[in-house]
Amino acid sequence: MLRYSTYQSIYDRKADSRNEGALRKGAARLNEAIANSISNIFARITLFKLLVFILFVVIAWAGMASAVASSPDHDVVESESVVVKRGDSLWKIAAAHKPGDMDTRVYVTAIQRVNGLAGSNIQPGDILVLPMK
């Protein structure tokens, strides 16, 4: 047998080329799997960032809503209470406690509205809340 030969079998090349093709396909599948996992990781990170942003917006909106709701610019109705005595009527109480520039009828209506009265019937001992503006 010859010690050094330049002979190469064509059948061995086919086996080598088959192995190389399988290796290439395996490497391509591995690269594709790695690319898919990386894109999934980025998608999850993006989704997480989106959720954090939405949470931040909701918290900021709730804070602004509570700040606006608690602002002192709202109409605050000051009130005074009066205990009804014998002989008092809604008209007498309204005439005695109404602001000077207000009509007594308007003030009687305001007293009825604040106290939830359907009519002008009041009893001694009742406590009426008188609106002040």
Query: In this structure, what token pair is assigned to residue 92?
Result: 């007498």
Structure tokens at 106: 């308007």
In three state form, how does the secondary structure of 29-51 look? HHHHHHHHHHHHHHHHHHHHHHH
Element holding 132 (H helix, E strand)? strand 127-132
Question: What is the structure's pLDDT at 80?
Answer: 84
- 130 phi/psi in degrees, rounded to 5: -105, 120
85 Cβ partners below 8 Å, 6+ apart? 124
Cβ atoms of 108 and 90 closer than 8 Å = yes
Contact call for residues 111 and 131 (beta carbons, < 8 A) = yes
Q: Give the dihedral of Cα atoms 62, 63, 69, 73; nearest 10 deg.
A: -150
Q: What is the pLDDT along the chain (133 residues), one digit of tens a residue?
A: 567 777 766 665 555 555 666 777 878 888 888 888 888 888 888 888 889 999 998 988 888 877 776 655 555 556 788 999 999 999 999 999 888 888 999 999 999 998 999 888 899 999 999 987 6
The pLDDT score that the predictor gives to residue 12 is 58
pTM of the predicted model over 0.75: no
